[in-house]
């Protein structure tokens, strides 16, 4: 049985927020106040749709936006980790579940030459229209009270595992690698034998520490905080050997 590795994208694979990094493609490299103030809590994707329309209105071409996105830095050790995964596909399946969008993730992975490491990407669907504007839509609707309206990562992971099970693909363990508040929901669903890998010093690690301090039985998975992808690489190497 294989190991399933699940990645978040922003501040996990890449060392920044792809949705704010794209603002560097605008002439002023900033957004007007009226646009910033239009954000409503839990509705980031709708806000990003407005941001991307604004960027298009500034006559920013997709090629320029792509070049800017391709300059986003990878988190330390992630290139090595993804290279290892791409070389060990017989033992590892790997998916991304992210609140970014499909165009940004595709551009970044394509430029890095590491697309072959990833079996599937679950994120807000995006496309480039005839005007050269990037359009983004919400990934799905769900009834989870903990998650943003456009994406419950627990539901995505659950649905992926069910689909795989129907194809007779079962996993020995899941390694979930993330940093943010929206990674807490799926991590709580992990079972004994699975590994939750929160990035050190980020929101997910703090939420996990709080949950464990309130109830030591709250989480079933092993918790392994990380600062570099090389730490995850060592753990993954030991697991599959």
99 is in an annotated binding site: yes
Q: Which helix (H) or strand (E) holds 32?
A: none
Instruction: Give the position of tokens 């920044």.
Output: 16
168 is in an annotated binding site: no
The Cβ-side half-sphere exposure at 28, using a 13 Å CA radius, reads: 7
Residue 33 vs residues 26, 36, 39, 122: alpha-carbon distances, Å: 15, 5, 11, 31
93 is in an annotated binding site: no
**Three-class SS string for 177-207?**
EECCHHHHHHHHCCCCCCEEEEECCCHHHHH
Of 178, 90, 69, 185, the C-alpha closest to 134 is 69
Cβ contact 25:196 at 8 Å: no
Residue 215 is among the residues annotated as catalytic for this protein: no
**Catalytic site residue from 8, 93, 183, 194:** 8
119 is in an annotated binding site: no
**Catalytic site residue from 10, 93, 183, 194:** 10
Q: Which residues lie across from 2 on neighbouring strands? A: 171
91 is in an annotated binding site: no
Cβ contact 124:114 at 8 Å: no
Q: Using the 8-state DSSP alphabet, how is residue 145 labeled?
A: S
Cα 205 from Cα 22, distance rounded (Å): 27
Cα 132 from Cα 127, distance rounded (Å): 9
Catalytic positions: 8, 10
**Binding site: what residues are annotated?**
8, 10, 19, 99, 179
**Binding site for Mg(2+): what residues are annotated?**
8, 10, 179
């Amino acid at each position: 049985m294989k190991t399933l590795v699940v990645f978040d994208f922003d501040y996990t694979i890449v060392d920044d927020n792809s949705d704010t990094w794209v603002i560097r493609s605008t002439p002023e490299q900033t957004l007007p106040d009226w646009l910033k103030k239009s954000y409503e809590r839990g509705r980031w994707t709708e806000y990003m749709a407005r941001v991307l329309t604004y960027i298009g209105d500034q006559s920013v071409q997709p090629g320029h936006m792509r070049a800017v996105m391709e300059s986003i830095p990878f988190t330390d050790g992630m290139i090595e980790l993804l290279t290892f995964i791409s070389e060990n596909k017989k033992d590892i399946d790997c998916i991304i579940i992210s609140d970014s969008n499909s165009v940004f993730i595709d551009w970044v992975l394509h430029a890095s030459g590491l697309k072959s490491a990833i079996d599937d990407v679950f994120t807000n669907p995006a496309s480039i229209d005839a005007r050269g504007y990037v359009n983004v839509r919400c990934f799905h609707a769900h009834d989870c009270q903990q998650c943003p309206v456009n994406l419950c990562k627990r539901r995505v992971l659950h649905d992926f595992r069910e689909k795989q099970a129907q194809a007779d693909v079962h996993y020995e363990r899941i390694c979930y690698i993330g940093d943010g508040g929206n990674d807490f929901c799926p991590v709580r669903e992990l079972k004994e034998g699975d590994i939750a890998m929160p990035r050190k010093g980020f929101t997910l690690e703090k939420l996990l520490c709080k949950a464990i301090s309130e109830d030591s039985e709250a989480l079933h998975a092993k918790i392994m905080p990380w600062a570099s992808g090389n730490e995850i690489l060592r753990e993954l190497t030991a697991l599959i050997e």
